[in-house]
Amino acid sequence: MSIQKTLQRILQMIKERDTNLQEFFATLHPSDFAEIVADLTDEEKKELFALLSDEEAALVIQEMEEIDQVVLFQLLSKQRASAILKEMSTDDAADLISELPAKDAKELLTLIEEDAEEIRVLLKYPEESAGGIMTTEFIAFPGAMLVEEAIRRLREIATEAETVYYVYVVDEETRLSGVLSLRELISAADGTKLSEIMRRNVISVPAEMDQEEVAKIVSKYDLLAVPVVDNRQRLLGIITVDDILDVVEQEATEDLYRRIGATEIEHVNLMEAPVASIIAKRLPWLIITLFAGLVSGSIVGAFAEAIQTVVVLAMFIPVIMDMGGNSATQASTVFVRGVAVGEIKKEEQLRYFFREARVGLTMGAVCGLTVGLAAALWQQLPVLGLVVGAAMFATVTVGTVVGTLVPLFFNRTGIDPAYGSGPLVTSIKDATGLLIYFSIASIFMRYLT
């Protein structure tokens, strides 16, 4: 059944106060359920959630967009909201609390009592750090525990933990000493101690690590979850692979947005964000581009006399600008992506730069020859072909080099190189391209008239 049809059927059932409603929900995945909720009116949402148990409500809310979660929570009584919060996993609960108005957040934290401490701890970490995305619901056993005892305990607590697929082994001070996958555990012989079969070489991440780094590690080692530790190796929480998938998507979006200058429109659905907030994110970069464009214009202005004498020179302004821009964008995109996916390592950047320089020189030569020939034939003026061709060669080469150098420099100084693909590179390549073009034209001026 399509989402649309399901929605219509639910609306009908709500209207008729149909008692089969709850049964019907049980057949829906929480994720599909969450999509339907997003399309309901506030009144309908209220009626719907009144029919759900706290646990069911928690499962659905965890799958909703953060902005929708906040809206929904403000429709519920504080009593109900806190009961649902208790059923949510601690990482999702902490994320939601951090988005609520401070007053509501404080009140809810008081109401949920025993779980509040864990959530307060999670709220201390930056949102995009390992600590900020971890959950505290993991399974840790002492090394002396026997395999059969561990399996028995697992069968009891399996429904509470975020993932049962890794069992962590800790010492008396909760320091991480080993790990066992559930698969290793169930295939081990009874009577064995966990410490005898655990892997001691545990891959873990510090709580301060950026989520993008965490994603790289999980992806590299094909983990289902990675443990998060403090600086004394004490186990604080775990990050599961489903959250890592979200991180990878989120980071890809951020990279793309940085490339167009728009700072991230974080945690806000594109269709729901007010138009004014979208403009506020994008307009500043257009204004910067505008003034950079005027700087390029003043370069054209400096050669006004030349243009007035040989007006045909103005005709090649667009192609010089386009080509400088396109070659710079190509170069920066490939470099930024190469760094992001780990194909270009820090120690290889210089070598990469020289490869790009060769690419730029070759492409510059081909484009220069092409446009030079085209210009000479089009305007029946061989010297013009020489001027435009030489300028094109220089522009494409410089574009490729600058397009690589700016993000490379950003990367070295710790700025996200994705910013380097945007308006800044555009401005630099425009100004240099036009300067090269008109300087060459000036030199050959007397042959052009």
Q: Which two tokens stand for residue 45?
A: 């949402």
- Beta strands 140-142 and 235-240 are unpaired
> Which one, 77 or 159, has the nearer CB to its own copies?
159
- Nearer to its own copies among residue 76 and residue 339 (C-beta): 339
Question: x/- contact string, 382-421, with its own copies (CB under 8 A)?
Answer: ----------x---x-------------------------
Q: 308, 290, 289, 293: which is closest to 438 by C-alpha?
A: 308
Residue 445 makes contact with its own copies by CB under 8 A: no
Q: Is 279 in the site for its own copies (CB under 8 A)?
A: yes
Q: Report which DSSP code applies to 61.
A: H
Binding test (CB under 8 A) with its own copies, winner from 231, 304, 346, 446: 304
Residue of 77, 201, 380, 449 interacting with its own copies (CB under 8 A): 201
CB-CB contact of 90 with 122 (8 Å):
yes
- Indicate whether 373 belongs to the interface with its own copies (CB under 8 A): no
Among the residue ranges 10-18, 101-109, 115-123, 301-309, the one whose residues contact its own copies (CB under 8 A): 301-309
Out of 203, 350, 415, 443, the residue judged to bind its own copies by CB under 8 A: 203
Q: What is the Cα–Cα distance from 287 to 265, expressed in whole angstroms? A: 19
Least Cα distance to 228 among 220, 219, 238, 218 occurs for 238
The correct pick among 36, 81, 334, 408 for binding its own copies (CB under 8 A) is 334
Near its own copies by CB under 8 A: residue from 41, 159, 231, 380: 159
Sign of CA dihedral 348, 350, 351, 354: positive
Could you say whether residue 213 binds its own copies (CB under 8 A)? Answer: no
Q: Which of 197, 209, 374, 383 binds its own copies (CB under 8 A)?
A: 374
- Which class for 140: exposed (0-12), middle (13-18), buried (19 or more C-beta within 10 A)? middle
How many Cβ atoms are within 10 Å of 303's Cβ, its own excluded? 20
Task: Please report, as a single letter, which amino acid is at residue 299.
Answer: I
154 makes contact with its own copies (CB under 8 A): yes
Among 248, 373, 381, 445, binds its own copies (CB under 8 A): 248
Q: Say what the alpha-carbon torsion angle 438, 439, 441, 445 is, to the nearest 10 degrees.
A: 120
Q: Does 322 bind its own copies (CB under 8 A)?
A: yes
* Interface residue with its own copies, options 22, 110, 253, 439 (CB under 8 A): 253
Q: Which is nearer to its own copies, 144 or 341 (CB)?
A: 341
Cα-based angle 415, 417, 423 (whole degrees, multiple of 5): 105
Helices (H) and strands (E) in the chain, counts: 23, 6
Nearer CB in complex with its own copies: 195/263 = 263
Question: Is 71 a binder of its own copies (CB under 8 A)?
Answer: no
- Nearest distance in Å: CB 399, its own copies: 10
Residue number, 233 or 427, with CB nearest to its own copies: 427
| Binding residues with its own copies: total (CB under 8 A) | 110
296 burial class (0-12, 13-18, 19+ CB within 10 angstroms)?
buried
Q: Which two tokens stand for residue 173?
A: 């001070």
